Structure 1
Amino acid sequence: MAEPYVIKMPQLSDTMTEGVLVSWEKPAGARVERGDVVATVETDKAIMDVEVFRSGYWRAPAEANSVIPVGGTIGYITDSAVETVAAPVPAAPAVVPTGPASATPPAPEGYAVKMPQLSDTMTEGVLVSWEKAPGDRIQRGDVVATVETDKAIMDVEVFREGYLSGPLVAVDAVVPVGEAIAWLVESPEQVSHENAVHDGGLRQPDATSAPVATPLPAAAMSGPVPGADPAPRPQQGAASPFARQLAGQRGVDINGLRGTGPAGVIVAADVLGAAGGRAAPVASSVLPSPRCPVTPRHDGHRKSDQPGDGRFPEYSGFSCHRAGQARGADPRRQGTQAFRHGGDRKAASQALHRHPLVNAAYQPVDKIVERSQHDIGIAATTEDGGLIVPVLRGVEGKTPEQLQTEWTSLLEKARKRRLSPPEYTNPTFTISNMGDVRIAQFDAIVTPGTAAIIAIAGNGPEGMPITITADHRVVNGAEAALFLNDLKQAIEHPENWLGSGGPVIPEGDYDVQVLVIGAGPGGEDCARELAENGIRVAMVNDAPAGRECLWRGCIPSKAWRAAADRIRPGARRAMGITLGTPRLDWAQLEQHRRGILQTRGRNGPENRSGCENSGAGRLCRFTGDHSVEISGKDARTLTFGACVIATGAPAFVPPIPGIQDALKSGAAVTSDTVWNLKQPPARLCVIGAGAIGMEMAQMFHDFGAEVRVLEALPRPVAEMEKEVAEQLMKAIAHNSLRLQVLTGVKVTEVAGATRPVGGALQSGDEAANYACDLLLVATGKRPDTSGLNLAAAGVALGDRAVIAVDASGRTNVPHIYAVGDVIGGYMLAHTAGQQGRVAAASLLGHSARYEAAKDCGVTFTRPQCAFVGLSLEQARAEGIDAVEVKVPLSIDAKAMMTGETDGLIKIVADKISHRIVGVHFLADHADTLVGEAVMMVSAGLTLEQVAGAIHPHPTQTELFGEMARRLLSRLRSARAAS
């Protein structure tokens, strides 16, 4: 006789430790199929059906009303109707099968492919299908199997190469998280074709998994009517089986009760409250957000309004709304589904911005958690009739069209139960919209972790009914009424927030309409956009226009890079070309570099009409939220309607003993001061292996120097995709013999105020010394706003001393914006330029936002590193069910022709929508290839669109279409198999 499969008490929340077995949905001995509901269980805050994931005959030893710990046994499934399960006896010896034992073949020497954890509470999963067979060659990123829990279905990908080997877990086996389902071995000879005899779904019951007959609390069980039948189902709505049973025992009429369970279901706590019993209070989720103490007003509500049953106090308000059309906006845009469906979420966000307490939550004991980001959950129905609440993140920074695009993808995954935990957990506000099913009006239930939920009903003669239900400990009645009124205004008058409504610059008797502080790429692009639209702009700058990018960054470094590339012999010898030994004329190169800077510097924004430039060398500090004091020649006070801060970030110098003396003497330089060299050094040490450090290291190597790079992190160019960085290191080791990159090392001392300079290193427990002719400090940049006196304007700083802004660049002061390096993130010239244009558009009254997930970058190493959008890890962290495809350049014909075969290209796409969310490069001409990838990601192109595009031959752009077709084929095969 086969061993029975154990059904355990599931964990319905992160804090749940036990549950009540409410009812049996299948009688003992009944035939059950995979997916059948066999029981209902309940805690103080949730009801859940218990589904089974294998077929057999049901055995239910636990009694109804039993309180069973999470993981405890509630029943069994056997293979035949005649099999019985002996009741476990504590302290009894283990049952030993009388027949011959069936053992899993021994595991091979290799890598275990394990059951992944699809959610925080998952403990086991079902092996749904195998996508690969034993002996198949597996590449990094291949999907080998599909697994499932009650919430999600997910592909099992592997991240190393090898051959798939047994022992393989059988299809439909239930496997604990972290246990092996298969193996990867190095050679075909090691492959095992055996099947695993997995006991995860065939466990012998033991004393520890026996039902615990813990009685319910005395208040809950006092006064039952012996032998009472459950109360009839309510005439309207629904009630849990346990609630009906308690109502029958206590003689409570459940038709008069208001349910507090999911979707308004009447639960046991509602019955106990009506009968005078006291239920366990609702537990609040622990929220990782800033908290503030409960004010006396809130504390009074909390104490006086706490219901007798321990639930949090809530109330409802009602209003009717008529959806409006933005005056002056494009009517074609207003009439789209994108506005009608995305608009309600955007309108809610507008109201939340005015009433932040509605977006907050109560946190025991006596704390209110404030959230600045609007993560709005919207109730949805799955294909099998279940309820789930997908969450739209950061609604405040997105347009209705963008929200509708994201919602379409989320809803498709929600219906198929393919959401990952970040896509359905921790909303800050919730919407339940039943207008499509013609509901006239309804109330929704506030869930723990939020302060309010709105219920949207169908449009009627009076408009669209909207009800708000709120937690009275956080939101009082007046606040809720004001929120509904502002929501009504936002829905009926979208022209007030949708954009195209004209400039939003405050009017007044100001010297200028907009002041831009800083004339780098962010400030310059912002000023140009505003001036070209008739806005009076003044620029204040402490350096010549162009700032770091033009004078100390992108432009001069790429002039050096161009010279270094021409020194390099490259593939000339393999092509039969022999030239003389290259010789560097440093003075001529510097003349060339400075000529470029002077030409570019003459094209600054000060020559454009409508833009007043104070000239270089001017500093300013805020004296109020509409005024600054400008120092230097002709010092004065300037008033403004709006302001954009674009002051950049200087090179960061770490606090290493002796480093400041070396910088003062010239024995050490930064990326700001390296441009004053009279000759390139013979020996160079670079502290920092980021983009600047690696670019400089390779350039000076090509100029003839011996170079050592010292990096504290485990890998260089950490901002690039991991495999791209790893492959770059291999290429450097092969092609740059005088360039050494040391990772995981810390410079502990800089010794020598004159050249040569040296110092001490620490790598783990080992110490070492270094020596060089020049030390280059390339440890990144860090904003310094100490001279701006931001406090006078009320501008708040975020983490790491950057200015905190939203997606439009707006600070906490509505008419003051900040862009570029001063707000952190990608400290790149084109990023600052885009942020400057977004800020200008917002000031002009348009809807615009910067999207970091669509940004890009190029590091001019050799080969070049580049990225657009998200890596696979980043996409999955954002809740995208992502997959990647890659191609090595060693197989590309064009790369073979030019002798530039080092590197690879990757595409990252959403499995569900097939939208391309990232492209990553290591290629000699990544700076030109990246342009097409930018269009793919920024336009949200799908794999089908890229696969169907015609690319010229022979070019490396052909690889985009080839990869898209390969990935499409893989996804279609997986879908067909499932």
Structure 2
Amino acid sequence: MSSSTSLTTQVVVLGGGPGGYTAAFRAADLGCEVVLIDDRPALGGVCLNVGCIPSKALLHAAKVLSEAREMQERGISFGAPTVDIDALRGWKDGVVGRLTGGLTGLARKRKVQTVVGVGRFTGSHTIEVADDDGRTTTVSFEQAIVAVGSRPVRLPFVPYDDPRVFDSTGALELRQIPKRLLVIGGGIIGLEMAAVYHELGSAVSVVELAPQVVPGADADLIAPLAARISRQYDAVWTSTSVTAVDATPSGITVSFSGESAPATAQFDAVLVAVGRVPNGGLIDAEVAGLDVDERGFISVDSQQRTNVGHIYAIGDVVGNPMLAHKAVHEGRVAAQNAAGQSSGFDTTLIPSVAYTDPEVAWVGMTENTAAAAGVDVEVGVFPWAASGRSLSLGRDEGLTKLVVEPQTGRILGAGIVGPAAGELIAEATLAIELGALAEDVALTVHAHPTLSETLGMAAEVWEGTITDLYLPRKKV
């Protein structure tokens, strides 16, 4: 039987992902009364529940399998691994549960009231929340922070009602380990899931519309990853489109258009990972007077304020890149402004990481973006084939690159490919944030032998002072 209740609060946060719960907790810490609305009983949004965290748990398992296999060539054999999918799924779910449980406790300690259900604006100061049981809650607010995130893009010709076809959320459920798996989309999400299923035993094929996997990243960063997966996977088709997907009793038949791909091929399962679309068009934002574009994005200023002065927006719904760490910082900014402080989000330094094998990470200006903007840059590239630490790991295909302003020596960007690239990119991000010169990084004493010293060596390459390589002498 349906029922309705009402709440009144100073600040309401619509969406409980990393940006949303950060905003709610920060506003509460600043003394605001806060209501947090989310359509999941467990806080954390897509990232924690069905995205970043569970995928990294499975990628760790995949890495263990890969390293165990590769060590056989170096004299250590563990025998053929056996994988208990139910136990692996349970461990992954346990990691998620531990974190979501922690968030519930943090909300309770801060006296943040949570309301579970789908929220939509019914006015400029009201949101109605409907739960699965037909109950509604009307939340009246003084300030609002919209953090409703994004959802996977759905291709119109794909039979999603067939259990053999799934998106990234379905892939993380580990319902099956198909013998033949096609991944449609060679971006970060698609390649991360491809890595997991490859190590669990699937024969993987990847199809990508762009000329390279991980479109947008510099080609030299992607080359080691592309070379490795081309050896490991059944096929990697780039510059290729999918024109039809048909479910048949014997498998999923996929039609392709591209020079290297076959006209058709059959698979046991298909994972669709072709991007995400913002949820700004699903919350009746126009009722509150919010401007939402045709794609579902909500525009904001540097204070995360929308065109409606008392409503803020953060995360995926305000624009690319759709990354949790961007949403978290935007959430703090929005909460502080809603609480009466003056705060702004003014950085463009948002690192991107593909947790593939090898990992790929970049931050700041790339060679691609510099060329598109007509900015003159130089690069210092240190190959990991000259890194003792990399060789000791049995991996020599990586590289570290700094993008430098020639006139000043200021670091404008960085890219790293290799094991732990996602961890290493932090030093480069801080260096750029602080306005460091390549000389500053080169003069910083890094521990040896480490992968982190490749950043200092890349700076030395640009300076022309490198001794671990022999390069043509550079005029100083």
Q: Scaled by the length of structure 1, what TM-score is found?
A: 0.45
The equivalent of 1:864 in structure 2 is: 359
Determine the structure 1 residue equivalent to 2:176. Answer: 679
The equivalent residue for 1:728 is 225
The answer on 1:517 being equivalent to 2:14 is yes
Q: Does 1:608 align with 2:109?
A: yes
Once the two structures are superposed, residues 137-156 of structure 1 have per-residue CA deviations (whole angstroms, 9 ceiling, x without a partner) of xxxxxxxxxxxxxxxxxxxx
The answer to whether the Cα contact below 8 Å between 2:381 and 2:462 also exists between their aligned partners in 1 is no
CA contact (8 A) 1:667 1:753 kept: no
Pairwise CA distance, 1:845: 4.2
For residue 437 of structure 2, what is the aligned residue in structure 1? 942
- CA distance 1:765–1:948, shift in 2 (3 Å): closer
Residue 814 (structure 1) aligns with: 309
**Which residue does the alignment assign to 1:715?**
212
Q: How does 1:391-406 map to 2 (within 5 A)?
A: none
Q: Assess, with a 3 A threshold, how the Cα gap between structure 1 residues 795 and 754 changes in structure 2: closer, same or farther.
A: farther
Residue equivalent to 1:961: 456
Alignment pair present for 1:593 and 2:92: yes
Residue 755 of structure 1: CA displacement? 5.6
Aligned partners of 1:722 and 1:810: how far apart in 2? 37
- In structure 2, what is the Cα distance between the partners aligned to 1:754 and 1:515? 49
Pair 751,873 (structure 1): closer, same or farther in 2 beyond 3 Å: closer
Quick one: structure 1 residues 755 and 592, their matched pair in 2 at CA, closer, same or farther if it must change by over 3 Å? farther
Residue identity matched to 2:343: A
Secondary structure at the counterpart of residue 21 of structure 2? helix
SS in structure 2 of the partner of residue 636 of structure 1: strand
Displacement of 1:749: 1.1
The alpha carbon displacement at 1:806 in A equals 2.0
Measure the CA separation in 2 of the matches of 1:705 and 1:599. Answer: 29
Q: 2:55 aligns with which of 553, 557, 562?
A: 557
SS of the residue 1:567 aligns to: helix
Name the SS of the counterpart of 2:381 in structure 1.
Answer: strand
1:929 aligns with 2:430: no
SS at match of 1:837: helix
State the one-letter code of the partner of 1:585.
D
Query: Relative to structure 1, is the Cα distance of residues 770 and 796 closer, same or farther in structure 2, using a 3 angstrom cutoff?
Result: same
Greater RCO (Cα-Cα under 8 Å, separation 6 or more) = 2
Q: Which amino acid aligns with 1:855?
A: I
Contact 1:666 1:754 in 2 (8 A): no
Q: What residue number does 2:150 align with?
A: 649
**Aligned amino acid, residue 808 of structure 1:** Q
Stretches of structure 2 that go unaligned for 5 or more consecutive residues are: 1-6, 466-472
2 CA distance for matches of 1:935 and 1:597?
A: 29
Q: Tell me, what secondary structure is at the counterpart of 2:278?
A: coil
**Could you tell me which residue of structure 1 aligns to residue 31 of structure 2?**
534
Would the alpha carbon gap of residues 716 and 635 (structure 1) be closer, same or farther in structure 2, given more than 3 Å must change? same
| Per-residue deviation, residues 611-643 of structure 1 (Å, max 9, x unmatched) | 1111x3x12221222222222355232221111
Contact 1:570 1:899 in 2 (8 A): no
SS in 1 for 2:211: coil
Amino acid at match of 1:623: T
- The residue aligned with 1:546 is 44
Residues 280, 292 of structure 2: 8 Å contact kept: no
Match in the other structure for 1:904: 399
The verdict on how the C-alpha distance between 1:863 and 1:765 changes in structure 2, with shifts beyond 3 A counting, is: closer
Which amino acid counterpart does residue 79 of structure 2 have in structure 1?
Answer: G
Q: Which structure has the highest helix share of the two?
A: 2
Unpaired runs of at least 5, structure 1: 1-509
Corresponding position: 1:635 with 2:136: yes
After TM superposition, the structure 1 = structure 2 runs for residues 430-445 of structure 1, keeping only pairs within 5 Å, are none
The counterpart of 1:783, out of the listed 266, 273, 278, is 278
AA of the residue aligned to 1:934:
T
Tell me: CA distance 1:913–1:837, structure 2 relative to 1, closer, same or farther (3 Å). Answer: farther
Which residue identity does 2:119 align to in structure 1? C
User: Aligned in 2, Cα 1:701/1:731: closer, same or farther, shift over 3 Å?
Assistant: same
Aligned equivalent of 1:666, options 163, 169, 181: 163
| Residues 857 and 866, structure 1, Cα contact 8 Å, conserved in 2 | yes
1:414-468 Cα offsets, whole Å, 9 max, x none, are: xxxxxxxxxxxxxxxxxxxxxxxxxxxxxxxxxxxxxxxxxxxxxxxxxxxxxxx
Contact 1:864/1:925 (CA < 8 Å) preserved in 2? yes
- Give the distance between the partners of 1:887 and 1:851, measured in 2 at CA: 31
TM-score, normalized by length of structure 2?
Answer: 0.90
Preserved contact between residue 216 and residue 368 of structure 2 (Cα < 8 Å): no
Structure 1 residues 721 and 850, CA gap change in structure 2 (3 angstroms): farther
Are the equivalent residues in 2 in contact too, given 1:852–1:869 (CA < 8 A)?
no
Q: CA deviation at 1:561?
A: 0.8
After TM superposition, the structure 1 stretch with the greater mean CA deviation from structure 2, 862-871 or 750-759, is: 750-759
- SS in structure 1 opposite 2:335? helix
How far did 1:786 drift? 3.1
> 1:756 and 2:251 equivalent?
yes
Partner of residue 4, structure 2 = none
Indicate if the aligned counterparts of 2:19 and 2:330 stay in contact, CA closer than 8 A.
yes
Corresponding residue of 2:125: 626
Matching residue of 1:742? 237
Corresponding position of 1:579: 78
Q: Distance in 2 between matches of 1:562 and 1:597?
A: 14
Give the ranges of 4+ consecutive aligned residues of structure 1 lying more than 4 Å apart after TM superposition: 764-767, 876-880, 973-976
For 2:296 and 2:188, the matched residues in 1 are separated by: 22
Q: Deviations over 1:744-770 (max 9, x none)?
A: 111111111556211211116986101
Aligned equivalents of 1:966, 1:677: Cα separation in 2? 45
Query: CA–CA distance in 2 between the matches of 1:620 and 1:536?
Result: 18
User: What amino acid is the match of 1:546?
Assistant: G
Percent identity, please: 31
Q: CA deviation at 1:836?
A: 1.0
Q: CA distance change for structure 1 residues 850 and 771 in 2, over 3 Å: closer, same or farther?
A: farther
Q: CA distance change for structure 1 residues 765 and 715 in 2, over 3 Å: closer, same or farther? A: closer
Q: Which amino acid aligns with 1:838?
A: V
8 A Cα contact 2:305 2:313, kept in partner: yes
Shift of the alpha carbon at 1:951?
Answer: 0.6
| 1:528 to partner: Cα distance | 1.0
8 A Cα contact 2:384 2:454, kept in partner: no
Q: 1:667 to 1:891 in 2, by over 3 A?
A: same
Q: Deviations over 1:109-167 (max 9, x none)?
A: xxxxxxxxxxxxxxxxxxxxxxxxxxxxxxxxxxxxxxxxxxxxxxxxxxxxxxxxxxx
Given that residues 606 and 612 in structure 1 are in contact (C-alpha distance below 8 angstroms), is that contact kept between their aligned partners in structure 2?
yes
Q: Secondary structure at the match of 1:758?
A: strand
The amino acid of 1:651's aligned partner reads P
Asked if 2 retains the 8 angstrom alpha-carbon contact of 1:731 and 1:902, the reply is: no
Q: Is the 8 A contact 1:667 1:755 kept in 2?
A: no
Matches of 1:961 and 1:675, distance apart in 2: 38
Aligned amino acid, residue 678 of structure 1 = R
C-alpha spacing 1:753/1:534, structure 2 compared with 1 (3 Å): farther
The aligned counterpart of 2:193 is 696
CA drift of 1:907 comes to 0.6
Q: Assess if the C-alpha contact under 8 Å between 2:164 and 2:270 holds in 1.
A: yes
1:841 aligns with 2:336: yes
Q: 2:327 aligns with which of 832, 855, 859?
A: 832
Provide closer, same or farther for how the CA distance between residues 974 and 565 of structure 1 changes in structure 2, counting only shifts above 3 A. Answer: closer
Distance in 1 separating the partners of 2:44 and 2:182 = 29
| Cα displacement (A) at 1:847 | 4.3
Determine the C-alpha separation between the residues in 2 that align with 1:572 and 1:769: 37
Tell me if structure 2 keeps the 8 A contact 1:534–1:610.
Answer: no
Aligned partner of residue 733 in structure 1, secondary structure: helix
Distance 1:577 1:705, change over 3 A: same
Q: Distance in 1 between matches of 2:407 and 2:69?
A: 43
Distance 2:130 2:146 in 1: 17
